[in-house]
Amino acid sequence: MAVKGNLRTPIVSVMGHVDHGKTTLLDKIRGSTVADGEAGAITQHIGATEVPIDVIVNKCGNPALRDKFIVPGLLFIDTPGHHAFTSLRSRGGALADLAIVIVDINEGFKPQTIESLQILKRFKTPFVVVANKIDRIHGWNPQRNMPFVASYNKQNERVKSELDRKFYEIVGELYNLGFNSERHDRINDFQRNVGIIPISAMTGEGIPDVLMVLLGLAQKFLEANLHYDANIPGVGTVLEVKEEKGLGTTIDVILYDGTLRKGDTIVVGSLGKPIQTKVRALLKPRPLTEIKSEEKFEQVSSVTAAIGVKISAPGLESALAGSPVRIATPETIDAITQEVQSEIEDV
């Protein structure tokens, strides 16, 4: 992965209530880039999508911004549901550097919206709220892929006031949970106020704003946490345990620090004793456009944080989603196995 300075790619979790549009938002971010002829620029990792900085800057429509940003891109995680997310969070420590909480502007807050916000509050993770599905507001005149304000200004007064009414309900809900919030374009201090970005994941309106605000947050509040160390042994979390044709059981892992190489000895959490095994292959999924088949993976000899990667290794059948992945040497393997075991028992 390209690395600018020595900042690693921030990990951004997309959270929210069922059907409020998490996957559609990510599809839009990946999909319109493919449509723009930049397919090769985006790598879709398993359970995670890496969007390189150049793609983001192009999407924001202002290449002059390129030099302002020193993170190499953003690694989005589509959270598979509340439970999985909690266990990922507690096992991986600060796995998510940033989060997007998505809420259907027409439905307002729902139980998982509130749960998401409570988790973020507990972990003090910076986040933005995305008020999705503005295109469903009656009379909305869609402006594909436009920044929000440009699109808003093209709506008639009735539509604008309907959006404002629904928007301030979300502000009220956030206030009840202890957060001050305001529309993202009116915020100067993102530390004191949560930004709310009205978007349509369907038409792409507001998506440039989402990317810009995330980059801004990453640079302002995370810089100190994003200095990764390529020289330390890789540390990761299992996202999923999957059977793959011809490979047997594999694990999809988010590597959040250090470097992992083919041939490394790894320790992986399981329901029983932690698994000790050797990395047989590291598989990076090729760009999105490729169909689901084992050919979509590219074998690589090493990967560096933060990245999503599939690991093929013997004996992974009992691996546990959400558990740690650590690299060990003959000297450290006993201690690391114990650490992994106790991390599992803690949860």
Contact positions vs ligand GTP (CB under 6 A): 16, 18-24, 132-133, 135-136, 200-202
Q: Helix crossing, 22-35 with 207-221: angle to 10°? A: 100
Nearer to ligand GTP, 200 or 341 (CB): 200
- Please report, as residue ranges, which positions from 269 to 308 form the binding site for Mg ion (by CB under 5 A): none
Rg (CA), the chain: 20
Q: What whole-number distance in Å separates Cα of residue 44 and Cα of residue 300?
A: 15
From the list ligand GTP, Mg ion, none, pick the one residue 202 interacts with, judged by a Cβ distance below 5 to 8 Å according to partner type: ligand GTP
- Which partner, Mg ion, ligand GTP, none, binds residue 133 by CB below 5 to 8 Å per kind? ligand GTP
CA dist., res. 60 & res. 212, Å (int): 7
Do 33 and 41 touch, CB atoms closer than 8 A?
yes
For residue 80, give every residue at least 6 positions away whose Cβ sits within 8 Å of its Cβ, in sequence order, or none: 47
Please identify the residue of the shown chain whose CB is closest to the bound Mg ion.
23
91 binds, among Mg ion, ligand GTP, none (CB under 5 to 8 A by kind): none
Instruction: List Cβ neighbours of 211 (8 Å cut-off, separation of 6 or more).
Output: 29, 51, 56, 59, 60, 74
Determine whether the annotation assigns residue 113 to a binding site. no
Are 181 and 167 in contact, with CB atoms under 8 Å apart? no
Assess 28 for contact with Mg ion (CB under 5 A).
Answer: no
> Is 23 an interacting residue with respect to Mg ion (CB under 5 A)?
yes
Phi then psi for residue 84, to 5 deg, are -60, -40
Stretch that binds Mg ion, among 18-26, 86-94, 107-115, 254-262 (CB under 5 A): 18-26
Q: Do the Cβ atoms of 45 and 307 come closer than 8 Å?
A: yes
24 binds, among ligand GTP, Mg ion, none (CB under 5 to 8 A by kind): ligand GTP
Structure tokens at 135: 């295109």
Tokens matching residue 118: 């409570």
59 in a known ligand binding site: no
- Cβ at position 288, least distance to Mg ion in Å: 16
* Piece in contact with Mg ion (CB under 5 A), picked from 20-28, 60-68, 147-155, 265-273: 20-28
Residue 134 annotated as lining a ligand binding site: yes
CA distance 13 to 98: 6
Q: State yes or no: 135 annotated in a binding site.
A: yes
Q: Which does 136 bind (CB under 5 to 8 A by kind): ligand GTP, Mg ion, none?
A: ligand GTP
Nearer to Mg ion, 23 or 302 (CB): 23
Q: Per rule CB under 5 A, is residue 332 in the interface with Mg ion? A: no
Interaction partner, residue 135 (ligand GTP, Mg ion, none; CB < 5-8 Å by kind): ligand GTP
| Nearer to ligand GTP (CB atom), residue 110 or residue 262 | 110
| H or E element in which residue 61 lies | none
- Give kind and range of the element (H or E) at residue 67: none
Residue 272 annotated as part of some ligand binding site: no
Does 22 interact with Mg ion (rule: CB under 5 A)? yes
Q: How many CB atoms lie within 10 A of CB 264?
A: 20
333-346 vs 82-92: helix crossing angle, rounded to 10: 140
Q: What are the angstrom distances between the C-alpha of 226 and each of 202, 221, 222, 273, 312? A: 32, 10, 6, 32, 28
69 vs 140, beta carbon nearer ligand GTP: 140
Q: Quick one: 80 or 142, whose CB is closer to Mg ion? A: 80
Shortest Å distance, C-beta 220 to ligand GTP = 27
Out of Mg ion, ligand GTP, none, what residue 113 binds, judged by CB under 5 to 8 A for its kind, is none
Strand partners, 254: 237, 308
Has 16 been labeled as part of a binding site?
yes
Paired tokens of 265: 């000895």
What are the residues binding Mg ion (CB under 5 A)? Answer: 22-23
Binding residues for GTP: 16-23, 78-82, 132-135
